[in-house]
């Protein structure tokens, strides 16, 4: 069963951000493979297409996979003729490429062949010029750090922009903080229903406990401030491309106050941002 894949070939100068780009595309559900020689690219796409494995493919190719003769351009043209293909070329200025290589201490792929790093960078620029001419999209990453490049790539290729997968957990400090928590809010300072007659045996799911917790001004102020914080930060987590976010609300035993607050926060996120999973760990 064929799937008529959409293909992004990621190429460009070494040190310009191909690895970051491929990882970002992988997060966007592209099937990604790096450093595949051109003759194998066509056979690989044929197999993917034949078995209908996926509909979005990103292939990283660089100077190690090409001899940059006329055949290299022929391979690219053949792929574009057969499939919906975009050639994404990444570049940066010489000074930036040089600085990035000094910071990472990785050898340039042409370094053994040429005398020094600067000459290797310049030779690669010359060798890649024909491929650059065939490219559909050219991105200069000179002024991007990795985080900014990820955000920029997502802005281009992300079709359905969603918030992270959000989980809200209520817990009791007596049994430890959830190990996977990203944000932790401590509500142990709020009045404790455990010490109130007829409430201690109930939980935060029960209406009498909920009404008790929400009746105090400190609770109302706390919820207001947490909502304001989430309103500010959740869009930024989305923009960053974060896949998962766990918010933990803790009280002493994890049965009363944290349960009430976790439900309130979950309802707020669900109504204003995206779907959320709520877990009451210690009930």
| Nearest-angstrom CA–CA distance, 1 and 91 | 37
**For 17-39, what is each residue's pLDDT tens digit?**
999 999 999 988 898 888 777 66
CA-only gyration radius of the chain, Å:
26
Question: Does residue 198 sit in helix, strand or coil?
Answer: coil
Q: Which of 188, 192, 184 is nearest to 168 (CA)?
A: 184
Q: What is the pLDDT of residue 76?
A: 77
Selection from 250, 244, 251 nearest residue 277 by Cα: 244
Rounded to whole angstroms, how far apart are CA atoms 117 and 86?
Answer: 30
Could you tell me the two tokens for 3?
Answer: 């799937």
- Asked if 269 contacts 230 with a C-beta cutoff of 8 angstroms, the reply is yes
Tokens 């007659």, residue? 197
* Tens digit of each residue's pLDDT (9 = 90 or more) over 57-107: 898 887 765 555 456 677 777 888 888 889 899 998 888 888 888 787 677
Instruction: Tell the CATH superfamily of the 6-157 domain.
Output: P-loop containing nucleotide triphosphate hydrolases (3.40.50.300)
How many CB atoms are closer than 10 A to CB 194?
Answer: 16
Strand 276-280 to strand 6-12: parallel, antiparallel, or no bridges (unpaired)? unpaired
Q: Are strands 137-140 and 31-34 parallel, antiparallel or unpaired?
A: unpaired
Cβ atoms of 24 and 241 within 8 Å: the answer is yes
Q: What is the pLDDT of residue 31?
A: 87
Question: 3-class DSSP state for residue 165?
Answer: strand
Task: Please name the residues in contact with 76: beta carbons below 8 A apart, sequence gap of 6 or more.
Answer: 9, 38, 87, 131, 134
Cα gap 34→21, rounded to integer Å: 11
- CB distance 151 to 261 below 8 Å: no
Beta bridge pairs of residue 32: 58
Identify the pLDDT of residue 169.
93
Domain ranges of the chain: 6-157, 165-280
Bridge partners, residue 34, by sequence: 60
Chunked mean pLDDT (size 10), the chain, 283 residues: 77 90 92 79 78 79 62 75 87 87 76 76 83 86 84 80 82 91 96 93 95 96 97 88 87 96 96 88 89
The 3-class SS string of 3-22 reads: CCCEEEEEEECCCCCHHHHH
- Stretch (H or E) spanning 140: strand 137-140
Residue 46 makes CB contacts below 8 A (sequence gap 6+) with none
CA of 28: how far to CAs of 17, 23, 153, 168, in Å?
Answer: 17, 9, 10, 24
């Amino acid at each position: 069963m064929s799937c008529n894949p959409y293909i992004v070939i990621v190429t460009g100068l070494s040190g310009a951000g191909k690895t970051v780009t491929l990882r970002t595309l992988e997060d966007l559900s592209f099937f990604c493979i790096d450093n595949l020689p051109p003759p194998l690219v066509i056979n690989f796409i044929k197999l993917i297409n034949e078995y209908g494995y996926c509909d979005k493919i990103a292939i990283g190719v660089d100077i190690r996979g090409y001899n940059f003769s006329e055949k290299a351009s022929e391979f690219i043209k053949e792929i574009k003729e057969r499939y919906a293909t975009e050639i994404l070329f990444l570049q940066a200025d010489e000074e930036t490429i040089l600085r990035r290589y000094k910071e990472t201490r990785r050898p340039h792929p042409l370094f053994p062949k040429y005398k020094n790093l600067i000459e290797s960078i310049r030779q690669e620029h010359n060798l890649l010029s024909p491929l650059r001419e065939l490219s559909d999209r050219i991105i200069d990453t000179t002024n991007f750090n990795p985080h900014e490049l990820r955000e920029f790539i997502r802005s281009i290729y992300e079709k359905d922009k969603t918030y992270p997968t959000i989980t809200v957990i209520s817990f009791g400090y007596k049994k430890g903080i959830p190990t996977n928590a990203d944000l932790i809010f401590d509500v142990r300072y709020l009045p404790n229903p455990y010490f109130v007659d007829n409430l201690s045996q109930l939980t935060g799911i029960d209406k009498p406990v909920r009404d008790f917790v929400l009746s105090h001004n400190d609770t109302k102020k706390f919820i207001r401030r947490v909502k304001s914080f989430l309103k500010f930060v959740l869009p930024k987590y989305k923009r960053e491309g974060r896949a998962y976010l766990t918010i933990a609300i803790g009280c002493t035993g994890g049965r009363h106050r944290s349960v009430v607050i976790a439900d309130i926060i979950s309802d707020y996120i669900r109504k204003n941002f995206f779907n959320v999973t709520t877990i009451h760990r210690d009930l």
